């Protein structure tokens, strides 16, 4: 039996790693040992930064909304609270987009929030809030039912599940009958 050498496989593996390191500077792009470490590190950085990106954008949106609110003599926290009281369900990404590109629409939202909010320094009317929001727990959003769900419900037929005790009692009765 001939000896198996790993040259072809190793060459293919090296080629794949060097392709991944394309565009790196210095020896990291063409020396396998250095390219391997560089690609591994790049992967770790990419994984971490994909999560950091979400945080960074959220901070940016809050910053933009706050700046736009201050132009209308309102704090960010009171604006968000006012929107919640008014029942306006717009996420921060869209609010930031409105603040930058449609200031007149954003001003309408600020006016809506101001109309619902109690005056600064005053406590909100708790009885009115309880009537509006119920016991304090936010209602869970219901998923709209699809026609597929109805089919699945119809297909499911409840089968009686025999308990272990009943099953053993029946077995004993059958054995006695056989004897």
Q: What is the pLDDT of residue 54?
A: 96
Q: Among residues 59, 101, 66, which one has the least CA distance to residue 80?
A: 66
Residue 6, pLDDT > 80, answer yes
Of 7-16, 18-27, 34-43, 165-174, the range with the lowest mean pLDDT is: 165-174
Average pLDDT value for residue range 23-32: 96
- Answer yes or no: pTM beyond 0.85: no
Cα(167)–Cα(93) distance, rounded to whole angstroms? 60
Residue with more model confidence, 174 or 36: 36
Q: Among residues 50, 76, 78, which one has the least CA distance to residue 63?
A: 76
Q: What is the pLDDT of residue 26?
A: 96
Residue 4, pLDDT > 80, answer yes
Residue 140, pLDDT > 80, answer no
Quick count: other Cβ atoms within 10 Å of Cβ 14? 14
Q: What is the pLDDT of residue 91?
A: 93
Residue with more model confidence, 117 or 160: 117
Max avg pLDDT among 6-10, 53-57, 142-146: 53-57
Cα(86)–Cα(133) distance, rounded to whole angstroms? 11
What percent of the chain is modeled with pLDDT above 70? 78
Average pLDDT value for residue range 86-92: 90
Q: How high is the mean pLDDT of the chain?
A: 84
What percent of the chain is modeled with pLDDT above 90? 56
Of 28-42, 54-68, 113-127, the range with the lowest mean pLDDT is: 113-127
Domains of the chain: 7-118 (1.10.1900.20)
What is the four-CA torsion angle of 89, 92, 98, 100, rounded to 10 degrees? Answer: 170
Residue with more model confidence, 145 or 94: 94
Question: 3-class SS at 31?
Answer: coil
């Amino acid at each position: 039996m001939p000896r198996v050498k790993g040259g072809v496989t190793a060459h293919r593996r090296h080629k794949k790693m060097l392709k991944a390191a394309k565009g790196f500077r210095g020896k990291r792009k063409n020396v396998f040992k250095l390219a391997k470490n560089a690609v591994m590190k790049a992967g770790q950085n990419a994984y971490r930064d994909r999560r950091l990106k979400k945080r960074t954008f959220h901070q940016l949106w809050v910053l933009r909304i706050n700046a736009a609110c201050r132009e209308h003599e309102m704090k960010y926290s009171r604006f968000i609270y006012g929107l919640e009281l008014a029942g306006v369900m717009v996420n921060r990404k869209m609010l930031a987009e409105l603040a930058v590109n449609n200031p007149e629409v954003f001003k309408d939202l600020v006016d809506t929030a101001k109309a619902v909010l109690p005056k600064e320094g005053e406590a909100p009317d708790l009885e009115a809030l309880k009537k509006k929001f119920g016991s304090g727990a936010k209602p869970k959003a219901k998923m709209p039912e699809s026609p597929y769900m109805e089919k699945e419900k119809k297909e499911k037929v409840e089968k009686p599940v025999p308990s272990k005790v009943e099953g053993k009692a029946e077995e004993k009765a059958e054995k006695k009958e056989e004897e």
